[in-house]
Structure 1
Amino acid sequence: MGKIILVTGGARSGKSTFAENLLKEEPSVCYLATSIVQPGDTEMADRVKKHQEQRSKKWVTEERFRDVGQFLSEHHQYKGYLLDCATLLSINYFYSLMVDEYGEDYALIDEKIAGFTEDEKNKIEAKIMVEWHKIIENARKLSGDLIIVSNEVGLGIVPENPFTRWFRDIYGRVNQYLGKESDEVYLVVAGIPLEIKK
C-alpha cells in the first residue's frame, strides 16, 4: 500500500517543485491537474504552461477536479500520483455544484452565494468534504503514493470579502483533514521543505 503525502506552503513557496521531486524516480506517474483555464485568462494559462514545462514529459496528465476518488479506484497502474492542487479542486468542485444547481448563469450564482444561510454553507462544505473522503478512501487502496499539494491559507491577512473568508475557512478545514489523514506532511517555506509529520 502506498503512502498519502501532503505538501503545503504559500504561493510560490516551491511546494509543487518539491512534490514533483518526490516522484522523479518513479517509472510511471499520473499527474492530477485540478485547475481550469477560462477563455481569455492568459495569466492562468501561463501558470499552467509553466507547470507543464517543469514536470516530466513521461508523466500521464489527467485533468479533473470531479470524481477524483472514482478515478483513483479505477486506475491502479501508476507507481505514483500527484494531485496539484487541493485548493483549486475544492473551489472548482464548489462552482461545479453551483452550475449543476443554477446553470451557467454566473450573475445568478453570485446572487445565490451572497444570500447563503449558515445551514446552506454547512451543507455545501459537507459535500466538498465527502469528495475528499472519497479521494482519501481510494488513495489507501493504491500501491503507489498519492502526493497532494495544497495552499497554506492561514498565514495571510483576513480577506475583506465574506465569500472569500468563508471559503478560506473551508480550505483550512480541508487542509486539517488532509493533514490528519496523511502519512507524511511537509510545509515548504522559501523553497525549503520542513517535515512536520512522518
Structure 2
Amino acid sequence: MITGGARSGKSAFAESLLDTEAKINYIATNCTAQDEEMENRVLLHQKRRSKNWQTTETFLDIADLFQQKQVSAHLLDCATMLTTNFFFHLMKERFGEDFKVIDEEIAKLSESEKADIEAEILTEWHKILMAARKSSSQLIVVSNEVGLGIVPENSFSRWFRDVLGHVNQSLGKEVDAAFLVIAGIPMKIK
C-alpha cells in the first residue's frame, strides 16, 4: 500500500516498484474525467506508465481481475477514486442516474443508512483483498491519506472522509508492506 497526500509522489513511487518490462495490469479507477483539469491529470498518469503494461479502466468487479489477468502484478491507482466511484455506483442503483436527485437523497441519509453503505464499501474491499491474497500476482494499492487535511465543512463530507479513512485502515491491516509518501519521499511504515 502506498499512501500520501495529493501530489505527494505516491503514484510515481508505486510505479517505480515495478519492472517496466514485466507484465503488469494497471487498474485505473478514475474512469471518467469530469473536466479538463482532471483529463490532464489522467494524461500525466498515462504518459508516465510503461508502454509494456496493460491498463484496465474500471472501479467495478476488481476482485475478478485477479482470476482473469495473468500478470506478475496489479497496480491499483487509486483506492480513493475506486471507493468514491463505487459509492456513487451504489447511489445510482438506489436513486437512479440523476445526480441532482442523488445529492438530495444523500442529504437525507440516516446514520443507519450510512452505516449500511459503509459496510457495502468495506465488503467490496474485503472481496478485493481476499482475491488478491489467493492470486499469484502482487497487488500494489495507491490511496490518498485523507486525515491530514482540512476538516470538511459539512457532515456528509466528514462522514465520507471517515469512510475513506476506514478503507485505508482496512488496507493497512491487510497489506504486507505500507509506505507513506511525503514531498516525493517514501517512508516505509509497515
Query: TM-score per shorter chain, which class?
Result: over 0.9
8 Å CA contact 1:13–1:191 kept in 2: the answer is yes
Q: Which residue identity lines up with residue 28 of structure 1 in the other structure?
A: K
Q: Which residue identity lines up with residue 62 of structure 2 in the other structure?
A: V
- Return the TM-score normalized by structure 1: 0.93
Unaligned 5+ runs, structure 1: 1-5
Q: Which 4+ runs in 1 deviate beyond 2 A? A: 36-39
* In 2, Cα distance between equivalents of 1:115 and 1:47: 33
- Return the TM-score normalized by structure 2: 0.97
* In 1, Cα distance between equivalents of 2:33 and 2:53: 24
* In 2, Cα distance between equivalents of 1:25 and 1:191: 20
* In 2, Cα distance between equivalents of 1:84 and 1:189: 17
Question: Root-mean-square deviation (CA), in Å?
Answer: 1.1
Mapped pair 1:88 → 2:81: yes
Matched residue SS, 2:43? helix
**What does residue 122 of structure 2 align with?**
129
Matched residue SS, 2:178? strand
Q: Which residue identity lines up with residue 22 of structure 1 in the other structure?
A: L
The equivalent position to 2:169 in structure 1, one of 164, 171, 176, is: 176
* In 2, Cα distance between equivalents of 1:119 and 1:28: 43
**What does residue 3 of structure 2 align with?**
8
The equivalent position to 2:18 in structure 1, one of 23, 32, 39, is: 23
**What does residue 55 of structure 2 align with?**
61
Unaligned 5+ runs, structure 2: none
Superposed CA deviations along residues 168-195 of structure 1, whole A, max 9, x for unmatched, are 0000000000000000000001101000
8 Å CA contact 1:26–1:80 kept in 2: the answer is no
Q: Which residue identity lines up with residue 67 of structure 1 in the other structure?
A: D
- Which deviates further from its counterpart, 182-191 or 94-103? 94-103
Q: CA deviation at 1:38?
A: 4.3
**What does residue 32 of structure 1 align with?**
27
**What does residue 3 of structure 1 align with?**
none
Superposed CA deviations along residues 27-63 of structure 1, whole A, max 9, x for unmatched, are 1000000003246x11111100000000101100001
Distance 1:26 1:141, change over 3 A: farther
Distance 1:104 1:38, change over 3 A: farther
Matched residue SS, 2:152? coil
* In 1, Cα distance between equivalents of 2:175 and 2:2: 10
Taking only the aligned residue pairs, the percentage that are identical comes to 56
**What does residue 164 of structure 1 align with?**
157
8 Å CA contact 1:102–1:109 kept in 2: the answer is yes
* In 2, Cα distance between equivalents of 1:38 and 1:49: 10
Q: CA deviation at 1:145?
A: 1.0
